[in-house]
Structure 1
Amino acid sequence: MSVYTMPIKTAIIVFPFLALAISFVLVIREYRKYGTFLLWRAVVLYSFVFYLLCAYFLIILPLPPRAEVAQYTSQYLELRPFHFVQRFLQETVLNLHDPQTFVPALRQNVVLEPVFNMLLFVPFGVYLRYYYKVSFKKVVLASFLLSLFFELTQLSSLYFIYPRPYRLADVNDLINNTFGGIVGYAVTPMLTFLFPTRDEMDERAYEKGQSVSLFRRFVAFCLDWLMISVVQSILIFLANFIPQYKEWIAPYPLLEQRLWFFFMVLLVFMILPTLTNGETLGKKIVRIKVVEEQREKIRFKSLVVRYGYLYIVYGIISSFLAGSADLLNSSNRMLQLVTLMLFLFCLFLLFLFVLNVGYVLVRRKRRLFYEKASHTYTISTIKRVKNAESN
C-alpha cells in the first residue's frame, strides 16, 4: 500500500509550492478574461493540478538508487497489445463455478494493475469534459498522449537520469489509460450534476468582474511596481555611465532612491495614465482603469491628487518612520521630542490608512480615501460579449 500512499504524500508536500508558482499566471489570466477569480473555479483548477501531480508521482516514485538500477536485468518494455488479458487467463484463480474465488481473484495483480491504470485516468476524462468542455475524440486523444508521456518518461529512464529504465513501459498501459479517460468522459454527467457548469461559472464570473475588488487592484499594483523595478534598474545602470550623474547624485544614495521613486511615480501613475485615459500597464493587464467623475477623460490634476495622497504623502511618511531611529537617539532633547511627536503623528496617519482599507473590505465599498479626495474611481473595462464561448 505504501507504493501508492508515498507518491500521494509527496504530491501533498510539493503541491503548495507548485500552486504558488502557477498562481500568479492563473490569477492574471482569470482577471484579464473575467475580472474575478471564483472560488469554485480555483477549486477545480487547483484540484486538477493536484491530480496531475499525483498521477505523475505514481508513475515515477519511489526512486531507487542509481547503483541499484544499474544491476537490474528485468524486462523494461512490453509491446504486446492486450497481453494483460492473456496474463489474467493464465494466472487468475477465478472459477466462475466457485463464488469463493471471486474476492481472491480481485486481489491479484493481474486484475489490480489494469484496473489501477484505468482508474488513474478516469479523473482526467472527467476534468476535460466538465471544465474544459472537450469533445469525446479530443478526450481520447488527450488521454492517449498523456499516457504516452508517462510511458516515455519510464522508458527514458526518467529523462536519462538513470542508467536504464527502472519501471516497465507497457503498451497495455496506453490502452488501459486511454480507456480510463473514455470512462471518465462517460460518467462525467453522473459525477458533476450537483456542481455548477462551466457556462454558469463563466456567467457568474462576468457578473462579479464588473465590480473591481481590492485584490484585483492589488494585482495591478504588483504588476506596475514590477515594471517600475525593472525600468528603474535599467535607467540607474545607464545613468551610472554619465559622469555628471556620478558626481551629483551617486554620493547620496538616500537622495538617489527618493528621487527615482518620485520620478517613477510621476511617470507611471500620473503622466502615463493621462495619455492612456486612466490605464497603467498593470491595470491594462487585469482590465481596469481609473476614471474621473463626470468626465470622459481623466485630468492630470486629478491623477496628481490621487497618487500624490497615496504615494507621495505616504511615501514621505514611510521614509520618515524608517529613518527616524537616529533622530530619536539624538542627544538633543528638543530634537528627540519633535521627532517623537512626528513619529506618533505618522503612525496615526498610517493607522488611518489601514483602517480605511479595512473598512472598505468589511463594508465592500470600493473607494478609498485618496479616490474620494481626487473624485476618481476604478472601473472594469471587461465587456461581456453575448453568446461568448468558453475556452
Structure 2
Amino acid sequence: MAAYEGPIQTAIYTFPFLAFAISFIFIIYEYRKYGTFLFRRAVILYSFIFYLLCAYFLVILPLPSREEVAKYTSQIIELRPFYTVVRFLDQTKLVIGEPSTYLPALKQGVVLEPVFNILLLVPFGMYLRYYFGLTFKKVVLYSFLLSLFFELTQLSGLYFIYPRPYRLADVNDLMNNTLGGMIGFLFTPLFTFLLPTRAEIDEAAYKKGQQVTLFRRFVAFTIDWISIFILEGCINIILRLIPSYRIWDNQVQFSGSRFWYFLMVFLVFMVLPAVANGQTLGKKIVKIRIVSEDGSSVRFRSLILRYGYFYYVFGLISLYLSSSAQWLNSNNRMLQLISFILTLFCGLLFLLFFLNIGYAFFKKNRRLFYERASHTYTASTIAREEKFRKSGESE
C-alpha cells in the first residue's frame, strides 16, 4: 500500500495550489453559464479534479532518476491480451479446496495489480454518469481514452523526459481500466441516490443566477479594469513609438496624468454600454447588463449620470484627498479651514458610499446610490436551459 500512499499524499499537497490556479477561470465559467457559483457544484468538480490528480500520480510516481532509468533493460510494453489471467494461473497460491490459501492469494501482486487497475477508474465512471450525464457507450469510450492516455504516458517515458519507459505499458491495464469505468457507471445509483441530481443542481443555479449579487458585479468590475489597464498600456506603448509624442510626453508627463482615467471611464463605462446593449466586457463575461428602471435598454444620458456619480465624482474626491495635505498645512488660516471642511465632507461621502455598499449587501434589492440617481439597475442575462441532461440516459 505504500506505493499508493505516496502519490495520494502528493495529490493532497498539490491540489490546493492547482485549485487556486484554476479558481478564477472556474468562477468566470460558472457565471457565464449559470450566473452564480454553487458550493455543492464546486465540491463535486473539485473532488473530480482531486481524483484525477490521484489517478495520474498513481500512474507516474514515484519518479526514478534519469541515470537509473537509462540502465533499465526490462520489458517496456505488454501486448498480450488477458496475460494477467495467465500470470494469475501460473503464480497464484490459491487452492480452491484449501480456505487457508485464500487470504495469502489475495495479497499477491497477480491479484492486487488487476484489482487496483479496475478500481482506479470506477470513480471516473461514476462522475461521468452522475454529474456529466454521459451514456454508457460514452463512459466506455472516455474510460478507454483516459486509460490510453495513462499507458502512453508510461510508454513515452513521461513524455520523453526519460530515455526509456520506467514502467510497463500493458494492454491488460487498458482493458482493466475500461472495465472499471463500466463498473462505475453501473454502480453509480447505489452511491448517489442521496445526492441532488445534476438537473436539481442546474435548476438551483439558474434560479439563483437571476439574482445579480455584489460579488458577481465585482468580478465584472475587476475584468473591466484589467482590460482598461491592458488597453491603456498598449496605447501608451504605440504612442511612445512616435518620437515627437515621446518628447512631448517626457515634458508634460501626459501618459501618467488623470486624463487617461477620465477618458477610459468615458469610453468603457459610458460609450461602450450605450452601443453594446448595456454591457461592458466584464458584464458580458458574467452575463449581466445595465437596463432602465422600466426594463428597457439603457440610454446614454443615464449612463453618464450613473458612472459620472460613481467614477467622476469619487475620482475628483480622491484627487482632492491625495493633495489635501498641502492645503491643510497652509499658513493661510482661511484656506486651512476651508480645506478641513472639504476633507471632512469628502470623508463623509466615502463613508456613506461604503455604508451604501454594506446596506445593499444585506438587502435583497441590491441597488446602489448611483443606480437610483440614474434610474438604472443591473439585470441578469442568463438564459435558462429547459433541457437538462439525465444521468444514465441510454442512446
TM-score when normalising by structure 1: 0.91
Residue 278 (structure 1) aligns with: 278
C-alpha distance 76-375 of structure 1, shift in aligned 2 (>3 A): same
AA aligned to 1:283 is: K
The answer for the alignment partner of 2:33 in structure 1 is: 33
Percent identical pairs in the alignment equals 61
Partner of residue 178, structure 2: 178
Q: CA deviation at 1:254?
A: 7.3
Q: Does 1:227 pair with 2:227?
A: yes
Tell me how far apart the structure 1 counterparts of residues 108 and 319 of structure 2 sit (CA, whole Å).
70
Partner of 2:211: 211
Conserved? CA contact 1:202–1:390, under 8 Å = no
Q: CA deviation at 1:18?
A: 1.9
- Tell whether the 8 Å contact from 2:198 to 2:389 is kept in structure 1 after alignment: no
Deviations 1:75-129 (A, max 9, x none): 2221121111122122222222222222222222111111111111001000111
Find the counterpart in structure 2 of residue 378 from structure 1.
378
Q: Does 1:157 align with 2:153?
A: no
**1:287-322 Cα shifts (integer Å, max 9, x gaps):** 211012136232222212211222223333444555
Which residue does 2:101 correspond to in 1? 101
Q: Within 5 Å, which residues of 2 pair with 1:14-163?
A: 14-163=14-163
Contact residue 157 and residue 163 of structure 1 kept, 8 A: yes
After TM superposition, give the deviation of residue 209 of structure 1 in Å.
1.1
Shift of 1:340: 6.5
Measure, in 2, the Cα distance between the counterparts of 1:56 and 1:27: 25
Contact 1:79 1:170 (C-alpha < 8 Å) held by counterparts: yes
Q: Cα offset for 1:32?
A: 1.8
Q: 1:251 and 1:192 mapped to 2: Cα distance?
A: 69
After superposing the two structures, state which structure 1 stretch, 34-43 or 362-371, moved more: 362-371
Gaps of 5+ in 1: none
Residue pair 2:11, 2:54 contacting (<8 A) in 1 also: yes
Q: Please state whether the residue corresponding to 1:43 is helix, strand or coil.
A: helix
Structure 2 residue ranges without an equivalent (≥5)? none
The alpha-carbon distance between structure 1 residues 344 and 51, as it changes in their structure 2 partners (threshold 3 A), is farther
Shift in alpha-carbon separation, 1:243–1:79, aligned structure 2, 3 A: closer
Q: Distance in 1 between matches of 2:307 and 2:19?
A: 33
Q: Aligned pair in 2 of structure 1 residues 287, 329: CA closer, same or farther (>3 Å)?
A: same
Aligned partners of 2:95 and 2:101 also within 8 Å:
yes
Counterparts in 2 of 1:269-348, with a 5 A limit? 269-294=269-294, 296-321=296-321, 327=326, 345-348=345-348
Please state how far the C-alpha of 1:389 moved relative to its aligned partner: 5.3
RMSD: 2.6
Spell out, residue by residue over 1:255-293, the C-alpha distance to the aligned partner (whole angstroms, 9 max, x if none): 734111110100010111112231112212222110121
Structure 2 counterpart of 1:224, which letter?
A: D
Call closer, same or farther: CA 1:343–1:89 in 2, change over 3 Å: farther
Contact (CA 8 Å) 1:250, 1:256: kept in 2 or not? no
Structure 2: which amino acid aligns with 1:170?
Answer: D
Q: CA shift at 1:152, angstroms? A: 0.6
State the distance in 2 between where 1:89 and 1:154 align: 26
Residue 347 to residue 74, structure 1, CA distance change in 2 (3 Å): farther
Residue type matched to 1:260 in 2?
A: W
Q: Tell me which moved more, 44-53 or 261-270.
A: 44-53
- 2:113 is aligned with what amino acid? E
Q: Does the 8 Å contact 1:121/1:184 carry over to 2?
A: yes
Deviations 1:41-64 (A, max 9, x none): 111111111111111111111111
Change (3 A) 1:329 1:371: closer
- The range that moved more, 275-284 or 309-318, is 309-318
Q: Choose 328-337 or 312-321, whichever is displaced more.
A: 328-337
| 330-339 or 55-64, larger mean C-alpha shift | 330-339
Indicate conservation of the 8 Å contact 2:328/2:340, yes or no: no
Confirm or deny: 8 A CA contact 2:32 2:287 kept in the other structure.
yes
Q: Give the direction of change, closer, same or farther, for the CA distance of 1:132–1:97 in structure 2 (3 Å limit).
A: same
Determine the C-alpha separation between the residues in 1 that align with 2:69 and 2:33: 48
Give the aligned residue type for 1:46. Answer: Y
Q: 1:257 to 1:73 in 2, by over 3 A?
A: farther
Cα distance, 1:327–1:112 mapped onto 2, change above 3 Å:
farther
Question: Does the residue aligned with 1:251 lie in a helix, a strand or coil?
Answer: helix
Structure 1 SS opposite 2:294: coil
Which has the higher mean CA deviation after the structures are superposed, 141-150 or 93-102? 93-102
Structure number with greater CO (CA < 8 Å, separation at least 6) is: 2
